[in-house]
Amino acid sequence: MPFNLREIPGLARWLCLALLILALASVAQAAEPLASWREPLRGQILAYASQAADPASPGFVPAPERVAAFDLDGTLITERPNFFVLEVALARLKAVCPAFGQQGPKEAELCRAVAGKKDRRWVRKNLDQVLSLPFKGMSFAQYRELVAQVWNQGIHPKRQKPFKDTVYQPMRELIALLGAKGFTVYLNSGADELSLMAISADLGVEPSRCIGTRYQAEPREREGRVELVRTGELDLKFLNLGVNKAVNMYFKAGCAPVLAAGNSTGDSWLLRMAGANPRPHMVLVVNHDDPQEAVYSRPELLATAKERGWRVVNMQDDWLRLFE
């Protein structure tokens, strides 16, 4: 039956009109690039991205070099109280303990930790074991499936929503804008590379464009197929923090990024790499100053940003909202 506004009684008609206007405004805002960003930073980013894609602009960057790199935890998603792969490890331990604790003294310690008998400092001090031992013997495919499950179904302990809903909406919009302007976007994180591959598509990044820490593995033949199985040990050569972030970026992309975003000193060499690019570039440092999320800062990184002229993204001032 056709909808006829004139047939609706007076008050209801005005209510329908108001709802229609709100809906149209919401659609228009969603279509607007960087709708969750405030000026003047919004305009600066839009201008940079447009000029980088315009051959007639002095800010043009050829497509092969139009590369952007983003850290994950604290830059694209919330990292408090725990960064995401630690939440994956804790979920795994909750699922396999207490039986897992019978495999040895280290495993027993991990089960005591997940049961609350160890404090956060112990967990942080023993991250290498927490992030590796629970996955010993697990194939790469099984691990990626577990990560995707935690991402989609696990509940963030503070936000009380699925982890997939703790992505910063302004950063989703930025990645979408860069993609529309012909940028090749990479994730470059201290998190393990397989976990990045498991969630990257949801962030607007191809799984093949993930750069992260790698864990040792061994190949096994099973039912006519070869699968890679985690040994439970970190490959120290592929700990993707600090200098390695810059080195691994170049090996993966074949060039330095012209845009990079991070929020910790572990990102500093990646940010420096972008900031030293002879092509027109932009460096973004995310500063957590919004009480709606968590208030903390990295003074050393902020000082470097001020010294080098990098743009600081103050979440409270530069973003209209945190999440979708």
Read off the CATH number of the domain in which 227 is found. 3.40.50.1000
Judgement on whether residues 266 and 306 belong to the same structural domain of the protein: yes
User: For residue 47, what are the contacts with CB-CB under 8 A and spacing of at least 6?
Assistant: none
Give a yes or no: residue 298 inside a domain.
yes
Looking at every residue in the chain, the average pLDDT score rounds to 92
Judgement on whether residues 61 and 20 belong to the same structural domain of the protein: no
* pLDDT at residue 13, rounded to an integer: 55
For residue range 206-244, list pLDDT tens digits in order.
Answer: 999 999 999 999 999 988 999 999 998 887 778 999 999
Give a yes or no: residue 241 inside a domain.
yes
Cross-strand bridge partners of residue 186: 69
In 3D space, the residue among 309, 258, 312 whose CA is nearest the CA of residue 282 turns out to be 258
Judgement on whether residues 298 and 226 belong to the same structural domain of the protein: yes
Q: How confident is the model at residue 24 (pLDDT cuts 50, 70, 90)?
A: very low
Q: Is the pLDDT of residue 280 over 50?
A: yes
Judgement on whether residues 13 and 75 belong to the same structural domain of the protein: no
Considering only residues 7 and 51, tell me which one the structure prediction assigns the higher pLDDT.
51
**Mean pLDDT computed over 52-77:** 98
* pLDDT at residue 237, rounded to an integer: 79
Judgement on whether residues 14 and 49 belong to the same structural domain of the protein: no
Q: How far apart are CA 264 and CA 41, in angstroms?
A: 20
* Stretch among 11-15, 93-97, 101-105 having the lowest mean pLDDT: 11-15
Q: How confident is the model at residue 9 (pLDDT cuts 50, 70, 90)?
A: low
Give a yes or no: residue 48 inside a domain.
yes
3-state secondary structure the chain: CCCCHHHCCHHHHHHHHHHHHHHHHHHHHHHCCCCCECCCHHHHHHHHHHHHCCCCCCCCCCHHHCEEEECCECCCECCCCCCHHHHHHHHHHHHHCCHHHHHCHHHHHHHHHHHHHCCHHHHHHCHHHHCCHHHCCCEHHHHHHHHHHHHHHCECCCCCCEHHHHECHHHHHHHHHHHHCCCEEEEEEEEEHHHHHHHHHHHCCCHHHEEEECEEEEEEEECCEEEEEEEEEECHHHCCCCHHHHHHHHHHHCCCCCEEEECCHHHHHHHHHHHCCCCCCEEEEEEEEECCCEEECCHHHHHHHHHHCCEEEEHHHHECCCCC
* Stretch among 51-60, 104-113, 114-123, 300-309 having the lowest mean pLDDT: 114-123
Judgement on whether residues 266 and 212 belong to the same structural domain of the protein: yes
Judgement on whether residues 9 and 64 belong to the same structural domain of the protein: no
Q: How confident is the model at residue 28 (pLDDT cuts 50, 70, 90)?
A: very low
Q: Which domain holds residue 198?
A: 37-80+167-318
* pLDDT at residue 11, rounded to an integer: 54
Give a yes or no: residue 228 inside a domain.
yes
Judgement on whether residues 62 and 2 belong to the same structural domain of the protein: no
Give a yes or no: residue 122 inside a domain.
no
**Sequence-separated contacts (24+) of 25-33 with Cβ below 8 Å:** 33/173, 33/176, 33/177, 33/180
Q: Is the pLDDT of residue 278 over 80?
A: yes
Give a yes or no: residue 96 inside a domain.
no
Q: Is the bond into 291 cis (omega within 30 degrees of 0)?
A: no
Judgement on whether residues 209 and 254 belong to the same structural domain of the protein: yes
Indicate the pTM of the whole model.
0.89
Give a yes or no: residue 123 inside a domain.
no
Judgement on whether residues 185 and 259 belong to the same structural domain of the protein: yes
User: How many domains does the structure of the chain reveal?
Assistant: 2
Give a yes or no: residue 130 inside a domain.
no
Count the alpha carbons within 13 Å of 128 in the hemisphere toward its beta carbon. 7
Q: How far apart are CA 5 and CA 288, in angstroms?
A: 47
* pLDDT at residue 168, rounded to an integer: 98
Judgement on whether residues 58 and 17 belong to the same structural domain of the protein: no
Q: How confident is the model at residue 16 (pLDDT cuts 50, 70, 90)?
A: very low
Judgement on whether residues 296 and 224 belong to the same structural domain of the protein: yes
* pLDDT at residue 57, rounded to an integer: 98
